[in-house]
Amino acid sequence: MPILAKAFAVPLVALLIAAPGEPSPASGDISAAVLSALARRFAEDAPPPVRGLVIKPDRRMAGFVACGEVGATAAARYQRFFVIVPGGLAVLESDDRDLLARYWELNDC
């Protein structure tokens, strides 16, 4: 069994090293990347409505952060969100209210 494990370990490590991360979008594509990350969180065909969208350079990492409010197409209530670009991490208020509040505080949203 150890020989079989070694046979899979080397190609797996090579694959992980060779797989690049998501490229940073051009400055004009940032809002599209934010909307794409939010759309993946909702099971609707149309992109969810967003209001108060703020996009700024990330002070801690290369890339951008975005915050604002988003709602499902038929939603009566909007919820706050935070997105990291590149990467497409989208945190919604319904995920973890305290975590979202911390992200907003750290990034002056």
Q: What average pLDDT does this structure show over 56-69?
A: 90
Contacts 24+ apart (CB under 8 A), 62-71: 62/24, 63/24, 63/87, 64/30, 65/103, 65/107, 65/109, 66/30, 66/31, 66/34, 67/103, 67/104, 67/107, 67/109, 68/109, 70/38
Residue 68 lies in a domain: yes
The answer to whether residue 44 is domain-embedded is: yes
Q: Is the pLDDT of residue 81 over 90?
A: yes
- What CATH number corresponds to the domain at position 53? 3.10.450
The parent domain of residue 76 ranges over 23-106
Which pLDDT does position 8 carry in this prediction?
Answer: 46
* In-domain check, residue 83: yes
pLDDT single digits (tens) 7-32:
544 443 333 343 344 556 665 688 88
Q: Which residues contact 49 (CB under 8 A, 6 or more apart)?
A: 70, 71, 73, 78
Between the alpha carbon of residue 98 and those of residues 24, 25, 52, 94, the distances in Å are: 28, 29, 20, 10
Q: Give domain status of residue 55, yes or no.
A: yes
Asked if pLDDT for residue 5 goes beyond 60, the answer is: no
Task: Evaluate whether residue 37 is within a structural domain.
Answer: yes
Classify residue 86: in a domain, yes or no. Answer: yes
pLDDT over threshold 90, residue 54: yes
Domains identified in the chain, total number = 1
Look at residue 43 and tell me if it is in a domain.
yes
